Chain A
Amino acid sequence: MNDVNDKYIIVKNLKKYFNTKRGRLHAVDDVSFEIKKGETLGLVGESGCGKSTLGRCLIRLLDSTSGEVLLKNKDNDSYVDVTKVSASEMKALRKRVQIVFQDPYSCLNPRLSVWELIAEPLIVNNIYAKSADMRRRIRELMDTVGLAERLENSYPHELDGGRRQRIGIARSLALNPEFIVLDEPVSALDVCIQAQILNLLNSLQKEFNYTYVFISHNLSVVRHVSDRIAVMYLGQIVELCEYQDLFKSPLHPYTQALLSAIPLAKLDVKRERIILEGDVPSPIEPPNACRFAGRCRYACDKCRQGAPELKEHEPGHFVACYRAGELNN
């Protein structure tokens, strides 16, 4: 990290609604946060909490309903609003913001070879005038992500999940981006391969000073890679803080339940397991109340009457809960 005050990305009141037959689905509902240059922000939550939608809105793979995503320009201190730039400006921005997808089995066109897959971003953005330069770049990328040269004419289905994910990473690195959204990049992989990919992502960040948003449902993976972690529930961020604080002193009752539900590969760890009742409620037209109130064992009348805002409870530790202070211990 360069500078503490260096706000690289500022997200303000970002909303993404989908119109469905049963009403408006609030996938991302009024989310605000900041990311520093070179930082990894972990985004955790259960399926359907809107974390992938948020990730896609950040790099405009989805158009937001309202709100701003400000990305700092390269050469000066001004910002560009990713949600509002024109299509041609977005094409230029694509080189700066990239994404790595969750499922290495479906995010690669099965009819293209490894070489063609990695060349695609370079070709569509007219990066190289000479084919020799492009060839050098592709070799370099394959080397960076740890793909042997002999694999260049292989097709994705001939490779294992780890290698496929390396292709996905090479594609996203091809344009020399600054900001990469990693959407569950290791969830589909076995633990051994997962560790290899996590190490790769880590060393790439060190080398190129990438800024990451790391989306995952796996808390221990998120803890390993993140500087700060945001916990999402039903379209909203309920807690945001330094990674150590989240595991040491979680303030939101949902975070507490989430942490206690992780199966630990250790015996004799004494901890209280909070089993949440019921399922995540529907994100379609949610009531104006704390969205977790229905499953929360601490919920009071206030929680059911209005939604709590994300407030800085302790320096750098944001939480959206009326009773945050009382519950801490």
Chain B
Amino acid sequence: MSENLENVTPELVKRKRRGAFAEVLFRLSKSPLAMFGLAIILLLIFCALFAEAISPYSPIKQDLMHMFETPSAEHWLGTDEFGRDILSRLIYGARVSLQVGFIAVGIALVVGGMLGAVSGYYSGWLDNSIMRVMDVLLSIPQTLLAIAIVAALGPSLMNLMIAVGISAVPTYARIVRGSVLSIRSMEFIEAARAVGSSDLRIILRHILPNSMAPIIVQSTLGVASAILNAAGLSFIGLGIQPPNPEWGAMLSGGRQYIRDFPHMTLYPGLAIMFTILALNFLGDGLRDALDPKLKR
């Protein structure tokens, strides 16, 4: 099938696909909030990629002469309890936080999305067994589940992402299943079957694109909670190991000094907040841009 699509009608597919992508970008560009979100995300990705080049100091080098410094010309955002430059730690931290956020959500989305789509499309015993397992997982608090997984796998960045990702799988499975169920009963699914479409094609081409809206919204929120979750795990020593910089760890590290040196928690907090805000704006814009009905 897919082979046929690529080999036989390259011109057609290319023409349509490029058109559609350009169309979505064009529509996205009409929403100022979405563009603001996109700009911040791009900035963060840039920071993460070129952290070595742009950060003024090493993120782990201690400088005990300059502990707890408030923002100044040398240290734009001040220093922490070991005299490490907060700006540099934030820039390097973007690397870890973005990775954790995106990859964990990616894992959750792929696994949960597949389970949910299969479950919703083929109701019956398969649906029942998948969803009961998901219910069991949902009944365990997400953080506790992540702790259990990462404790079993051993603390590392990869395992952290897997743990955070898996603990979010049931949420995605539920959302995808719900929207698949509502789309599945629509007549155009039957129409697709009537012209001979395979189940896989129906799921990928007809059902998933039409259930995008709630998935995109949940994913953008999910990245945010994944970052916070990872921070929580780092805090109890199961995630990023010190002295490696990570926003969540910085946030919790600065917590005990918050009365005297609020800048230590303020900046990582702001970084997390802006990332989440940007993702939400982008997600909203994307959802609208992907819906041809909202085109004008």
Query: Do A and B touch (CB < 8 Å)?
Result: yes
Enumerate chain A interface residues (CB-CB to B < 8 A): 59, 61, 91, 94-95, 98-99, 101-103, 106-111, 113, 115-116, 119-121, 123-126, 128-131, 134-135, 153, 155, 157, 168, 171-172, 174-175
Verify B191–A107 contact, CB threshold 8 A: yes
Contact of B12 among A91, A119, A120, A171 (CB under 8 A): A119
The reply to whether the CB of B214 lies closer than 8 angstroms to some CB of chain A is: no
Verify A155–B295 contact, CB threshold 8 A: yes
Contact of B195 among A111, A124, A129 (CB under 8 A): A124
Query: A101-B187, A115-B16 known; A123 and B192 CB under 8 Å?
Result: no
- In the bound complex, residues from chain A placing their C-beta under 8 Å from that of B72 are none
Complexed CA–CA distance, A91 and B193 (Å)? 10
Verify B1–A101 contact, CB threshold 8 A: no
Enumerate chain B interface residues (CB-CB to A < 8 A): 1, 4-5, 8-12, 16, 19, 186-188, 190-198, 201, 205-206, 209-210, 291-293, 295
Verify A116–B196 contact, CB threshold 8 A: no
Verify A131–B9 contact, CB threshold 8 A: yes
- In the bound complex, residues from chain B placing their C-beta under 8 Å from that of A59 are 194
Verify B5–A94 contact, CB threshold 8 A: no
Complexed CA–CA distance, A124 and B5 (Å)? 9
- In the bound complex, residues from chain B placing their C-beta under 8 Å from that of A157 are 292-293
Closest B residue to A153 by beta carbon equals: B19
Complexed CA–CA distance, A101 and B186 (Å)? 11
Query: A128-B8, A131-B9, A134-B9 known; A107 and B196 CB under 8 Å?
Result: no
Contact of B191 among A91, A110, A135, A168 (CB under 8 A): A168
Complexed CA–CA distance, A261 and B193 (Å)? 37
- In the bound complex, residues from chain B placing their C-beta under 8 Å from that of A125 are 195-196
Complexed CA–CA distance, A115 and B15 (Å)? 12
In the complex, the 4 A-B pairs of residues with the closest C-beta atoms, listed nearest first:
A121-B195, A94-B196, A107-B187, A131-B9
Closest B residue to A124 by beta carbon equals: B197
Complexed CA–CA distance, A103 and B187 (Å)? 8
Complexed CA–CA distance, A157 and B292 (Å)? 8
Verify B12–A135 contact, CB threshold 8 A: yes
Cross-chain pairs A/B with CB under 8 angstroms, 27 sampled? A59-B194, A61-B190, A61-B193, A61-B194, A94-B194, A94-B195, A94-B196, A99-B191, A101-B191, A102-B187, A106-B187, A106-B188, A109-B188, A111-B209, A119-B12, A120-B192, A120-B197, A121-B195, A123-B4, A123-B9, A124-B196, A128-B9, A131-B11, A135-B12, A155-B292, A157-B293, A168-B191
Complexed CA–CA distance, A98 and B195 (Å)? 7
Complexed CA–CA distance, A48 and B99 (Å)? 55
Verify A134–B293 contact, CB threshold 8 A: no
- In the bound complex, residues from chain A placing their C-beta under 8 Å from that of B198 are 124
- In the bound complex, residues from chain A placing their C-beta under 8 Å from that of B196 are 91, 94-95, 121, 124-125, 175
Least distance between A171 CB and chain B CB atoms (Å): 6
What would 8 more interface pairs be, CB under 8 Å, given A107-B187, A107-B190? A110-B210, A110-B292, A111-B209, A126-B4, A128-B9, A129-B8, A172-B194, A174-B195
- In the bound complex, residues from chain A placing their C-beta under 8 Å from that of B195 are 94, 98, 120-121, 124-125, 171-172, 174-175
Least distance between A158 CB and chain B CB atoms (Å): 8
Verify A134–B12 contact, CB threshold 8 A: yes
Complexed CA–CA distance, A116 and B201 (Å)? 14
Complexed CA–CA distance, A94 and B190 (Å)? 13
Complexed CA–CA distance, A171 and B10 (Å)? 21
Query: A99-B194, A171-B195, A174-B195 known; A109 and B206 CB under 8 Å?
Result: yes
- In the bound complex, residues from chain B placing their C-beta under 8 Å from that of A123 are 4-5, 9
Least distance between B296 CB and chain A CB atoms (Å): 10
Complexed CA–CA distance, A268 and B116 (Å)? 61
Contact of A108 among B1, B188, B205, B291 (CB under 8 A): B188
Complexed CA–CA distance, A91 and B9 (Å)? 21
- In the bound complex, residues from chain B placing their C-beta under 8 Å from that of A99 are 191, 194
Query: A124-B197, A125-B195 known; A110 and B293 CB under 8 Å?
Result: yes
Complexed CA–CA distance, A168 and B197 (Å)? 15
- In the bound complex, residues from chain A placing their C-beta under 8 Å from that of B197 are 120, 124
